[in-house]
Structure 1
Amino acid sequence: MRQSSQWILALTPAHGGWTPAQLAQRRAADAETIGSAVDAIGPGPVSWAVETAERITSRFRDDGEKLGVPTESTGFSRQGAEVGLLMALVAMAGESPLETIRISPAMPQLARIAVRQGMPVDALIHKAWASHAASQDEMLQMIGRLVEPQHQIAAIRAMSTAMFAHGNATVRALTDAYREERRQWDGKTRETRRRMIADLIRGGPAPADAEEILGLPLLGGHLFGLAFSATGRHVSQLEESVTSFARTAADLLGAARVIVVPHDAAVEMWWTFSSRQPPPESAALLRTAVRPPGVSISLGPAGIGIEGFRESYHGAYAAARVGRAAAADDVWGYDSVAHLSLLLQDRSAARRFVRHHLGPLLKPGGRTAEIRTTLRRYLETGNGRIAVAEELHIAASTVAYRVAQAEGMLGPGFRDRPVPILLALQLVELVPDIAS
């Protein structure tokens, strides 16, 4: 290996090396790609690539939220970023001639998944180049840290040349695989369903053969849900496990039909009911079902007819915003979290809101956390000291004391603004770092 590429072998995760078990748990790429990369450049650089791909994808997700663009997915984006970064490192370390750079078989597979999830080819290529550019920025930072100043120009030149060649090869492989899969997929029912759902959401009229193509009635009751990775990490065989869950859920809900449609932002589930609405306790019922590991479910409000379907669809995506922010495996019902979803549309505004209304209650430490929890439940129960005391296993006098402490910390206007204070407390409980 030339001196200009030696820095690759010194790469390691931020907090030290990972064990093989940690690498296996955190990877998004397939085991074959990971194993080949470990053989070529070692476990340290591979672990660094996995960690870096996760950080890049998280940054894309946060940027997308600010723009109102759903960028999170069932692991597709992070898997692509990770595979691309690993293959680039292996190519540079191996000093392969640029014209012979080989693309991992995982890349064409990602293109095929993109077709099945309804992602346009330009969006796929945009994601690939954005990930590629972010990876190059990360490598530049590492060159600055690991390479002696007199050798940095040579290292940067070698890296840039190799990354340009690798980026072009990646785009060719993705485009070719996408076009081939699209030719095979266009005639399939699932793509037809996806286009019809998109048309209905945009407010278009239902075609005469809509019910025949969708395989469900449009005039009855509707409940729309999303299944997505609770942490944003890759979930293997997600579509298959969600399909099984959706059918079990249909029995619990008393639904007549259910269809499952993969999507870049989640796997969509659409339950229909012949002549009535779903039960009002839908979220509670689905919590009793065995969900796929690492998967959260969001549910929109129940509705009747096409307009009710649209409301349920948009509500499910709003509830998913809360579930993703919490990064917790749960069932998120729109009726319970719609207010938090509105606040989380703008993370920066939400942070300002929390800091403004809670101020001293955001101090670190267990005592302050106890006061926040007690005050939140006190307000949620309509100032029910006894109920909160029983729930938290403390005396009613302790509840009163902690509420009084909160009032002293928040000032005399505390009781004039219980609603914004409660909303701020719920945000902190949901997303602890919202005030950081």
Structure 2
Amino acid sequence: MSTRVALKQSAAQDHEWHDRIRRQTAVELRPSLDRMVAECCAYIQESMPELDVDEELAEGLYQSTYDNLERIFDMLAEGQDVGGTTAPPGAIRYAETMVRRGTPLASLLRAYRLGTMWTWTLWRREIITRIDDPDLLMEAVDHSMSFVFDYVDAVSEQVTEEYAKQRETWARSAAALRHETVEQVLAGEPLDLDVVAARLGYDLRADHVAFILTTRAADDAEDVVARLETQGQALAGRLGARRTLLVPDGRTRLWMWCTFDECPSDEVVAEVSADRTLLDGIVVTTGMKGAGREGFTTSHEEALHVKELLRVGGRHQGHLVRYEKVAVASLLASDLPRARRFIAQELGDLAAGDDATRRVRATVTVLLEESGRATVAAKRLGIHQNTVSYRVRQAERLLGHPLSERRYEVETALRLLRAIDA
């Protein structure tokens, strides 16, 4: 008897055969959840790159996708129906993030449609591999399709309601007014600076240094924005700011501008940067001092460039990084694959990640910064001049040529590597 006939007879005797197929398929796919979530997110981001512009949006999409796919496969494996389904926590948090970032509801719903398409394509492919008979295959496909689309309808309806509720609350808040006003300033819209000053409690005609503070939420209940505002105020105080503007941007990021009677010295900044208690759990990036409304905008843009440089380089929390220290690397790293190829081509084995090679690189970097003055470099590094000479010879062996050859390229590659792999 053929498989097709046997399956038809079984189906005639047991009308719940498709539930068994559904449960079995979900159980077999469930261990691959992490891989499936990553692939689904990549599919969505390919069509909507605006959802991958920073860590908060990318992480929010990942967590929402994870919670939804986990719920779908658990329900399929357990044979549950959609009735009474509630939106998972990650989906609710992502809707809140979208509201605070000013992302329209249409974008959120489009992400759900793309996620549904990806999930359905995967599920259909798996079902096809398990059923030979075309009639039974169509029945199983229809049965599974109803579940997937009913689930998405139920969850997207709840997410839409949550978005509307959060949007109404956000629109009424003072933080929303500050964020909207600052967005208008950054976009270059014509504004009365006296009106802006009244809304923000901050005068755009001053000199400014922009900061961006980013962190992660320890749990869903933690008020991350309040923590960032506290740390931002403490940071501004330590740096001697005369006036400070704090603007939450999303759930885990804070924009900050400060005016100073005198900009903090390098020594003060270094002391603050080394204070792990002050910077506990956050990354701080800054722009350069700028004058007036234009300086307000350009300093913020520079801080964003540094933030992106740290993101692509995998920089961990607990750092304060200034634009003026990584400006060249920021420009070069705008094309990260080319930047890494440039590093590999110029440094070769000198780009290795072991501690010994890192010490050699650090010595060569300081030597080049000091225009080849070994005595000055040795004093700055706190090592003997002979050690500097020894490490230069090691570097030249790893490079395959004297340090004097392609000196500019080598120095640029060293700075770039330090910036993106710090």
**TMscore range, shorter length:** 0.7 to 0.9
Q: State which drifts further: 170-179 or 71-80.
A: 71-80
Distance 1:351 1:158 in 2: 49
Partner amino acid for 1:195?
A: E
| Residue 79 of structure 1 pairs with residue 67 of structure 2 | no
Q: CA deviation at 1:235?
A: 10
Structure 2 residue matching 1:261: 3-state secondary structure: strand
- 8 Å contact from structure 2 (residues 363, 388) kept in 1: yes
Q: Which residue of 1 aligns with 2:333?
A: 344
**TM-aligned CA distance change 1:170 to 1:382, over 3 Å:** farther
Counterpart of 2:162?
A: 177
Equivalent in 394, 405, 418 of residue 405 of structure 1: 394
* Among 309, 328, 344, the residue aligned to 2:316: 328
The whole-number CA distance in structure 1 between the counterparts of 2:320 and 2:179 is 24
Kindly provide the amino acid, as one letter, of the partner of residue 170 in structure 1: V
C-alpha change, 1:247 and 1:63, in structure 2 (3 Å) is farther
Distance 1:291 1:52 in 2: 39
Closer/same/farther in 2, CA of residues 367 and 298 from structure 1, 3 Å limit: closer
Aligned to 2:294: 307
- What is the CA-CA distance between 1:310 and the residue it aligns to? 0.8
Equivalence for 1:88: 72
Query: Structure 2 vs 1, CA of residues 253 and 395 (structure 1 numbering), >3 Å: closer, same or farther?
Result: closer
Question: Unmatched 5+ residue regions in structure 2?
Answer: 1-18
Greater mean alpha carbon deviation, residues 298-307 or residues 394-403: 394-403
- Matches of 2:308 and 2:240 in 1, distance apart? 27
Task: Give the letter for the 2:184 counterpart.
Answer: D
For residues 159 and 385 of structure 2, the distance between their equivalents in structure 1, rounded to whole angstroms, comes to 63
> Which piece of structure 1 moves more, 2-11 or 299-308?
2-11
Deviations 1:347-384 (A, max 9, x none): 12212211221234346766555543433343244335
In the other structure, the counterpart of 1:319 is 306
**C-alpha separation between the residues in 1 aligned to 2:168 and 2:421?**
46
Judge which range, 114-123 or 239-248, deviates more: 114-123
Cα distance, 1:212 vs. partner?
1.0
Whether the 8 Å CA contact 1:230–1:323 is kept in 2: the answer is no
Q: Which amino acid in structure 2 is aligned with residue 317 of structure 1?
A: L
Correspondence for 1:102: 86
The answer to whether the 8 Å contact 1:230/1:327 transfers is no
Letter of the 2:176 counterpart: E
Give the structure 1 partner of residue 16 of structure 2: none
Find 1:70's aligned residue among 53, 58, 62: 53
Query: Which stretch has the larger CA shift, 306-315 or 396-405?
Result: 396-405
Residues 217, 252 of structure 2: 8 Å contact kept: no
Label 1:430 to 1:221 Cα distance change in 2 as closer, same or farther (>3 A): closer
**Which letter does structure 1 place at the counterpart of 2:23?**
S
- Tell me what 2:15 maps to: none
Deviation, 1:245, is 0.5
Number of aligned residue pairs: give it.
393
Instruction: Determine the C-alpha separation between the residues in 2 that align with 1:93 and 1:309.
Output: 54
- Measure, in 1, the Cα distance between the counterparts of 2:23 and 2:229: 46
Distance 1:231 1:116 in 2: 15
Check the 8 A contact 1:72/1:232 in 2, yes or no.
Answer: no
Q: Which structure carries more relative contact order (alpha carbon 8 Å, separation 6+)?
A: 1
What is the rounded CA distance, in whole Å, between the counterparts of 1:99 and 1:389 in structure 2? 72
Q: How big is the shift at 1:157?
A: 7.6
Alpha-carbon contact 1:224-1:268 (below 8 Å) kept:
no
Partner of 2:408: 419
| SS in structure 2 of the partner of residue 298 of structure 1 | strand
Judged with a 3 Å threshold, the aligned counterparts in structure 2 of structure 1 residues 285 and 292 are, in CA distance, closer, same or farther, namely: closer
Is 2:313 the partner of 1:295? Answer: no
CA distance in 1 between partners of 2:271 and 2:383 (Å): 30
Q: Which amino acid aligns with 1:327?
A: R
SS in 2 for 1:209: helix
In 2, distance between residues paired with 1:190 and 1:238? 14
Question: Secondary structure of the equivalent of 2:56?
Answer: coil
Equivalent residue for 1:218?
A: 204
The SS at the match of 2:172 is coil
Residue of structure 2 equivalent to 1:40: none
Q: Is the 8 A contact 2:234 2:278 kept in 1?
A: no
> What letter matches 2:289 in structure 1?
A
In structure 1, C-alpha distance between the alignment counterparts of 2:20 and 2:354, rounded to whole Å: 51
Please list every run of 5 or more consecutive structure 1 residues that lacks an aligned counterpart in the other structure: 13-44
Contact 1:78 1:234 in 2 (8 A): no
User: How far, CA to CA, are the matches of 2:415 and 2:73 in structure 1?
Assistant: 43
Superposed CA deviations along residues 159-178 of structure 1, whole A, max 9, x for unmatched, are 66544433333332222221
1:239 CA displacement: 0.8
Alpha carbons of structure 1 residues 254 and 56: separation in structure 2 relative to 1, 3 Å: farther
Matching of residue 5 in structure 1 with residue 5 in structure 2:
no
**SS of residue matched to 2:284:** strand
Q: SS state of the match for residue 210, structure 2?
A: strand
CA distance in 1, matches of 2:167, 2:120: 30
TM-fit CA distance, 1:272: 3.4
Whole-Å separation in 2 of the counterparts to 1:293 and 1:417: 40
AA matched with 1:212? A
Q: Is the 8 A contact 2:229 2:254 kept in 1?
A: no
Which letter maps to 2:24? Q
CA contact (8 A) 2:239 2:269 kept: no
Q: TM-score, normalised by structure 1?
A: 0.74
Change (3 A) 1:374 1:332: same
Q: Deviations over 1:281-311 (max 9, x none)?
A: 4743542373464321111112221111011
Deviations 1:85-107 (A, max 9, x none): 22222332232324554322553
Q: SS at the partner of 1:73? A: helix
After TM superposition, the score normalised by the length of structure 2 is 0.76
